[in-house]
Amino acid sequence: VHSSLPRCARLLSTSSRCRTVMPAWVIDKYGSNEVLRFTKNASFPIINYPNEVIVKVFAAGLSPIDVAMRGGYGAATLSMKRDPLNIKQSGSEFPLVLGRDVSGVIMECGLDVKHFREGDEVWAAIPPWKQGSLAEFVLLSANEVSHKPKCLSHIEAAAIPYVATTAWSALVNTGGLRKDNCANKRILILGGSGGVGTFAVQMVKAWGAHVTVTCSQNAEQFLRGLGADHVVDYTAGPVEEPLSALEKFDLILDNVGGDTESWALKLLKPWSGAKYVTLVTPFMQNTDRLGVADGMMQSAATVASKALKHLMKGVHYRWGFFAPSGCALDEIRDMVDAKQIRPVVEETFSFSQVPQAFEKVEKGHARGKTVVQIS
């Protein structure tokens, strides 16, 4: 009976085919917190491709990128990803659902999905060009999804995927770190106390590296508790001075940006393959400001000239980016289940308190992650 159904009908089961709307927090234009709007009538996601899944959201993590996207950050670049042929009118991304982390349960699977079944507990980091997790349901590609760690609640699990896949992309894909090549490596994490930093510290520590972090003085004990070997207070004066007195590093992950580039690369071991990877790049601002083609050209020219300049001094300069990856989350799940990494939930909000959750993230000074309980 199943195989005789039309293909499109087989993509969905009866439970969601009758739903057309769902509760969600949306924005209808870019702006400050007042653009957030709760609706019971957001469009219910529809499986368009056979490798897609619909996830019922139990918890959603918030990140600084959600605050930035609320204000229009990345609008040009993300519109190109959503509508590569530029067919739709400007503003077709609205109503837009924010929220990049999800922990929940698979509700529907496309025909080609083999690795997941309805009812599986999963987690994922949602690419910024897709509708987010501040909604009852979210649509994802199966390759972006992973079975969630059994030992975590949904709230705890929602604190990890976006920062973890970002740290993984920066440290593993760009920085070349692996679990079997970190022993005795000296790693410096600039900005250890936020979402990315608290994850990155635990990950490289679990892989045997010696980890130095910079943070505010009041985060020192917190970061030592996550495994940092050496902590430098950036509020006590120019942080490059105490850092310069230390043995040089094999890799620096920069979560801070600003003027760090002017001094941080001098802290690397020259002519040894040492790398500086920054997550704070002008890539999106360039494409927002100059348009996609010119913005990408500008970014390529900037990163190439900086990489060349530093290569001549014997160190590598790289930009790191978030990359959605179910495979990376599978490996991270194993590290969580092995108790090598724990979630750092700073504050939890209910679904009705989404604007307050945004205010919290917008204030900065994070000590881990802000999570919203959806159901």
> Which residue's CB is nearer to ligand NDP, number 10 or number 230?
230
Quote the least distance from Cβ 190 to ligand NDP, whole Å: 6
> Which residue's CB is nearer to ligand NDP, number 38 or number 321?
321
Quote the least distance from Cβ 82 to ligand NDP, whole Å: 17
Whole-angstrom distance, CA of residue 311 vs CA of residue 49: 44
Contact 251, 185 (CB under 8 A): yes
Contact 295, 139 (CB under 8 A): no
Q: By the criterion CB under 6 A, which residues form the site for ligand NDP?
A: 63-65, 163, 166, 190-191, 193-197, 214-216, 234, 255-257, 279-281, 320-322, 364-366
> Which residue's CB is nearer to ligand NDP, number 45 or number 175?
175
Quote the least distance from Cβ 235 to ligand NDP, whole Å: 7
Quote the least distance from Cβ 362 to ligand NDP, whole Å: 10
Quote the least distance from Cβ 280 to ligand NDP, whole Å: 5
Quote the least distance from Cβ 314 to ligand NDP, whole Å: 25
> Which residue's CB is nearer to ligand NDP, number 46 or number 307?
307
Q: Is the peptide bond before 95 cis (omega within 30 degrees of 0)?
A: yes
> Which residue's CB is nearer to ligand NDP, number 47 or number 62?
62
Strand-pair partners of 373: 59, 350
> Which residue's CB is nearer to ligand NDP, number 217 or number 305?
217
> Which residue's CB is nearer to ligand NDP, number 38 or number 263?
263
Quote the least distance from Cβ 234 to ligand NDP, whole Å: 4
Residue 220 CB burial class (10 angstroms; 0-12, 13-18, ≥19): middle
Quote the least distance from Cβ 189 to ligand NDP, whole Å: 9
Strand-pair partners of 56: 105, 137
> Which residue's CB is nearer to ligand NDP, number 33 or number 51?
33
The type of residue at 118 is E
CA distance to 68, 230, 253, per residue, from 191 (Å): 19, 13, 9
Pairing mode, if any, of strands 121-125 and 145-147? antiparallel
By beta carbon distance, the residue nearest ligand NDP is: 194
Quote the least distance from Cβ 371 to ligand NDP, whole Å: 12
> Which residue's CB is nearer to ligand NDP, number 52 or number 240?
240
